[in-house]
Amino acid sequence: MLGGSVYPFMFAGKGGGVDHGLATAIFWAMSAGLVNGVGFKPRFFLWRWLFSGWSCMFALLLAAWLRLT
């Protein structure tokens, strides 16, 4: 997230506009990393899956794929 704050054009698409898919994937990865990093484990299985370490890795890979395509 520090990279996005220093260089916000990282979130720009090929046409110069905002790439909402990329931003969503990065924000999901950031949220999952924060929730999982502090050791919080949600009780509801859907939230537990969305904020797990595996979903953080998946969101980062998705963001990289969206950025490179």
The pLDDT of residue 45 is 93
The pLDDT of residue 51 is 94
pLDDT tens digits for range 2-57: 777 788 787 777 777 888 898 899 999 999 999 988 989 899 999 999 999 999 99
Structure tokens at 27: 């924000």
Q: Which residues, in sequence order, are CB contacts of 21 under 8 Å at separation 6+?
A: 66
pLDDT band for 1, please (50, 70, 90 cuts): low
Measured CA to CA, the distance from residue 50 to residue 66 in angstroms comes to: 19
